[in-house]
Amino acid sequence: MNGALHGKVALVAGATRGAGRGIAVELGAAGATVYATGRTTRAQRSEMDRPETIEETAERVTRAGGKGIAVQVDHLEREQVRELVARIEREQGRLDVLVNDVWGGEHLFEWNKPLWEHSLDSGMRLLRLAIDTHILTSHHALPLLIKRPGGLVVEITDGTADYNAGHYRVSFFYDLAKTAVLRMAFAQAEELRAHGGTAVALTPGWLRSEIMLGHYEVTEERWRDALAKQPHFAISETPAYVGRAVAALAADPEVARWSGQSLSSGQLARVYGFTDVDGSQPDAWRYLVEVQDAGKPADVTGYR
């Protein structure tokens, strides 16, 4: 992918950590200029109160071979989003890839609590962070994206359309948030088609994000230690894997064939031939259905 996206401009909304950071870095590795946005900077933390910053993400983009530009943006604030897009237009004159990855709901959902027992304030805040942010960002960014045919929108979610249609995601609010993003990709695909644009929904598998590694009290270097607590974690993947999926889509001259569809990192790895950082190709959503949900012992043979 080296140089495949040279001259292209990407906006990764929600690039502070996790999938967003992995996507930004891999777009940079392919040569793109990447605007990495989020709320946490070295001078100010968001309500997540995490140490990862957008400046660090931008620096990683640049080290990977692209040009990283960190911009502090609260994607619930319309004027901040409008000014972000105006800045991209002033500085670059184009936008080729929009990745809507804003989330920030990790501490807001309550597993296994029905709607009527779940904190309403937390649930509604989760929906605003997961849905409203994507709508506001697309509303302001799409006019710039469609100035040139071939623009790509990637809506990041959790779960494929097939999986989410048949499985309750353990919380009313989480379920609604992740399913809504799938439909947003479909609707944007319909509206972009006449302008030569493409929109897809993309899910990573079981992501070894900074938060997930912290949950299991491991580092990326010794992530397999977590298998003692959760053997199915063996199917997990790094944020680079979904990042490589986005880079492959962005470099594909026939990317419109995917428009409106729900995709996964594992699915696209088989099509485009990229791997995770360890050379494997984890297929988490097939594993989840055929092994974990089926109650079988953890065994990733044939799944990565």
Active-site residue, from 35, 163, 174, 287: 174
Q: Which residues of 159-185 are buried (b: 16+ CB within 10 A; e: fewer)?
A: bbbebbeeeebebbbbbbbbbbbbebb
* β-pair partners for 12: 36, 99
d(CA 223, CA 33): 31
Active-site residue flag, 174: yes
Candidates 248, 241, 243; CA nearest to 283 is 241
The answer to whether the beta carbons of residues 252 and 276 sit under 8 Å apart is no
Q: End-to-end distance of the chain based on CA atoms, in angstroms?
A: 21
Residue 291 burial (10 A CB sphere; 0-12, 13-18, 19+): buried
- Residue 76 dihedral angles phi and psi, to the nearest 5°: -95, -10
Candidates 121, 128, 104; CA nearest to 48 is 104
The answer to whether the beta carbons of residues 154 and 246 sit under 8 Å apart is yes
Question: How many residues are recorded in the chain?
Answer: 304
* β-pair partners for 10: 34, 97
Which residues are part of the catalytic machinery? Answer: 174
